[in-house]
Amino acid sequence: MSGPAITVKDVWRGALPSGTELIGGGAGLERRVEWACALRTRPPAFEAVKGGEMAFVPVSSIRLLDERLDLALVMSSFAEKGGVAVAALGDVSRESIELADRLVMPLLRLPDSAHISEAHQASVRFILDARTHLHEQAGELQTALMQLALSGAGPVGIVGHLASITGLVALWLDAEGVVRHTASDELDLVAGPVVEQAPALRRWAETTAVPAADPPVREFPLSVSGLRILASPIPTRRGFGGFVALVGGEAQLDQLARLAASRAASACAIDLDRERAVLETQERLEGEFVASLLTGSYASESAATERAARLGLDFGAAPALVFAVRGPALDVATLDDAARGGRTLLERRGVPALLTVHDHALCGVLQVSGGDDEAALRHVEMVRGEASAGRGPAAAAGVGRAVSGVAAIRSSYREAEQALALGRRVFGEGRTVRFADLGLHRLLVAMAQHAELGDFYEETVGTLVAYDDRTGGELMRTLEAYFACHGSPTDTAHRLRLHRNTILYRLRRIEEVGHLRLDDPSTRLNLQLCLRVRDVLPGAERRRAVAGRA
């Protein structure tokens, strides 16, 4: 099927005699009608049905075709062949009405005074005339709206033209159903009722195919008496990117209105695609620049400072910090979406920041305006929350210290990565950790690359780790709980949900296996230090140390 759409509702309004009632299958009134056919009194019941036909059926003539038939059986067979609606003359059974609802096939009852052949012929003429007229109008609309799209008028200009050619209230709504622009002074009258229908608009668009050349249209009732909204989703590569809509009375939302809304949505898609291409290019270039800041690969500090200023970051006016976000649900497919969402979130709040995806993480350079570190941390938390929203387990974030000048951004990035890695290892997912709050871990991170740290860990607790690996004795876990409870065996037992005697036994094993004395202050200090070293020592280093000791 191609060309301008003529729906069951259009035929009902424009061709059927006054007094025709809709008695079933109302949900299918927007179905497309390609032709009209009438029931024959000899087999086959209808001439070749190709799909999209509306049938005219005199109920009293059904048994002349076959005594075993009734209206419900005729409707069922007609629907299987692709028929979309039935107009019946005569008594209609409750079974037929219920079947129409199940098939989503409009069942219209003609008035008793109607002549079935006249209604059929009037519908055929209406379809032919409407198709010719709509085809001409479609060409004119397509040309005018495409010229607007290509000239950069945007959805605002397109919706304005839509209002002028239809004489109705025209709206542009975003993908959430929020009114972005209206080409009418009557927004106050319709804004509230339109917002009420936003969930229904989204559900429809999410479950409907939205072809770029011929977006579908559908009417929705508004809470304002006598008004309805006619909406068409704006096609995008990922489904839909908003709506073009008209508001008017039922009689005003005619074929021209439907055609105009669909063509306007198609034109908006072209404009939004172009805008999206520009944004994607900007995001790519911005991402490459941010990556150069994080890695220190920019050409010169002065050039990087100047370019950052053009993007909204003035390194001479206020310090900046780097943050990094990772999470189990943030894979390659979702990181770009997370970056785009975080960027929009910060832009709406007027926060000077640059975001990109770098090294499998969402990374950002954020200006610390007024030296307010707590405000900067709240902004990072918002981005982390945005990255986590609807994506399974919460993501974690690491935040570097605020620094001045382009050259120091790289060090803030290293700190952010260290805070992120340690935060995930020590606290798990779903936390934002600042490098400045790592305390002793900051010193240990700096020493982690020195062999002495691994040697110290091996010499102090290597035998305990090896024992745990070999027997599952949980001596290291017990030791950590013991120090957390300030050396109280009773509190340790409560913390680990074990008997106090079990804890006393494990403490003796720690002394025996590790050749240690837990009552010695130096030994206790070394053991507590090793528990923190364990957080920063790379896994390979720990395995090498344990293997060498075992």
316-372 confidence digits (pLDDT tens): 888 999 999 998 878 877 888 888 888 888 888 888 899 999 988 999 999 987 777
Task: Please check whether residue 284 lies inside any domain of the structure.
Answer: no
Task: Please check whether residue 147 lies inside any domain of the structure.
Answer: no
Residues of the chain with pLDDT below 50 are 1-3, 540-550
How far is CA 11 from each of CA 30, 171, 249, rounded to the nearest angstrom? 11, 26, 17
Question: Could you tell me if 256 and 263 are in contact, meaning their C-beta atoms sit under 8 angstroms apart?
Answer: no
For the chain, the domain total comes to: 4
Whether 337 and 415 map to the same domain: the answer is yes
Residue 4: predicted pLDDT: 55
Find residue 363's DSSP bridge partners. Answer: 324, 356
Residue 87 corresponds to which amino acid?
Answer: A
Whether 220 and 158 map to the same domain: the answer is yes
Tokens of 355: 């975001």
Task: Please check whether residue 136 lies inside any domain of the structure.
Answer: no
Whether 310 and 247 map to the same domain: the answer is no
- Where in 292-438 does DSSP place strands (E)? 320-326, 353-358, 361-367, 396-399, 432-434
The phi and psi torsions of 358 (rounded to 5 degrees) equal -145, 130
Residue 546: predicted pLDDT: 41
- Which of 373, 403, 438 terminates a domain? The answer is 438
Task: Please check whether residue 122 lies inside any domain of the structure.
Answer: yes
Residue 374: predicted pLDDT: 87
Q: Select from 506, 509, 513 the least CA-distant residue to 463.
A: 513
Task: Please check whether residue 143 lies inside any domain of the structure.
Answer: no
pLDDT in tens, 196-248: 888 999 999 888 888 877 888 898 988 877 788 999 999 887 778 889 999 98
Residue 1: predicted pLDDT: 36
Q: What order of strands is seen across the sheet that includes strand 432-434?
A: 353-358, 361-367, 320-326, 396-399, 432-434
Domain that holds residue 405: 296-438
Indicate which CATH number applies to the domain containing 67. Answer: 3.40.1390.20
- Which of 275, 309, 342 terminates a domain? The answer is 275
Whether 349 and 392 map to the same domain: the answer is yes
